[in-house]
Amino acid sequence: MAEAKPILVPLDGSKLAENAIPAAAWYSKATGAPLQFIHVLDSDIKREARDEAAATFQQYANRIAASNGLGSVECQVLTGSPADQVLSASTTAAAIVLATHGRGGFKAMMRGSVADKIVRGAAIPVLVEPGTEEPIAPGGGRPVVVGLDGSEEAERGLAAARSLAAAEKLEVILIRSVTMPPPVGVEFATYPADLMSSLDQAAKNYLEATAQPGEKTLLMQGESASAILEAANQVDAGLIVLTSAGKGLSKRIALGSTTDRVIHGTERPVLVIPRTE
């Protein structure tokens, strides 16, 4: 039997990075994949200091694992660019769980930040934990919400959400937003009087056809990111699931995309499912 691929948890010794551990523990339990703590050293560090730093990290990781009731957790210490090394290690991993500055610090991660690069570049799911003072892992009876746009890409996120929700018998809520399309190529545009109602009905039909028995649906008005954030707050979601591409979502999570704005606009964990290549 092949060894299970691990869930990578990048740690740098900061309390912020440690905020990812409760979510990582939940994700590990839900999927059955083991955790692996990963630490990246500066490439300029001398070999003697590198060995000492690696030993120090192992001791630190053991303490963190014990204090979170995780038992023995494998550790990996690498050297180089943090984002590049985590992404390189992720080629043999099942997922990545990491913490961001979230709304408690930066409202948006700086372009080029480590977390941002990892979320953008990962070809595996990335569970993003916002930088709140007291992180709360997904689950606990709270529902899993999934942002949909009618595309097959977005429905990959729905499949992941259903699998995670089933592990803890959580409710799944499908969300789709409807907004009036902008006019193209003309300064003034006249829309049919019933256009909005037609869009609403089409979205409602899609949700009803996509939802499985026992799942709820929410049809929201307005821009996608705002609608998802509002809906997640309404139902007190424990997890938001999105794909990194789909109709209306920019390729590879460009800044300003729906996925990016949801990550930076919420205090709830967000699971980003990568697009197919």
Q: Residue-wise pLDDT tens for the chain (277 aa)? A: 567 899 999 998 888 889 999 999 999 999 999 999 999 988 887 888 888 888 899 899 999 999 988 988 899 999 998 899 999 999 999 999 998 864 333 333 333 478 888 888 899 999 999 866 778 899 999 999 999 988 888 888 999 999 999 999 999 999 998 775 555 555 555 555 565 677 778 888 889 999 999 999 999 888 889 999 999 999 999 999 998 854 433 333 343 478 888 988 899 999 999 876 4
Tell me which of 3.20.20.140, 3.30.565.10, 3.20.20.70, 3.40.50.620 is the CATH number of domain 144-267.
3.40.50.620
- The pLDDT assigned to 187 comes to 56
Domains 7-129 and 144-267 share a fold: yes
Residue 9: count of CB within 10 angstroms of its CB: 31
Domain boundaries, the chain: 7-129, 144-267
- The pLDDT assigned to 48 comes to 80
The answer to whether the pTM exceeds 0.95 is: no
- The pLDDT assigned to 215 comes to 96
- The pLDDT assigned to 191 comes to 57
Is the CB of residue 244 less than 8 Å from the CB of residue 273?
A: yes
Sheet holding 74-79, edge to edge: 74-79, 35-41, 7-10, 95-99, 126-129, 270-273, 239-243, 144-147, 172-178, 216-221
- The pLDDT assigned to 247 comes to 40
**Rounded to an integer, what distance in angstroms lies between the CA atom of residue 264 and that of residue 101?**
9
**Rounded to an integer, what distance in angstroms lies between the CA atom of residue 89 and that of residue 86?**
5
Is the CB of residue 3 less than 8 Å from the CB of residue 115?
A: no
Query: Which DSSP string do the residues of the chain spell out, in sequence order?
Result: -PPPPPEEEE--S-HHHHTTHHHHHHHHHHH-PPEEEEEEE-TTS-HHHHHHHHHHHHHHHHHHHHHTT----EEEEEES-HHHHHHHHGGG-SEEEEE--TTTS-SSPPTT-HHHHHHHH-SS-EEEEP--SS---S-TTPPEEEE--S-HHHHHHHHHHHHHHHHHT--EEEEEEE-PPPP-S-SS----TTHHHHHHHHHHHHHHHHPPTT-EEEEEES-HHHHHHHHHHHHT-SEEEEES-BTTBPTT--TTSHHHHHHHH-SS-EEEEPPP-
Look up residue 86 and give its two tokens: 């985590």
Instruction: For strands 126-129 and 270-273, give the pairing.
Output: antiparallel
- CATH 3.40.50.970 holds for 7-129: no
Q: How far lies 190's CA from each of 178, 185, 221, 249, in Å?
A: 18, 13, 20, 26
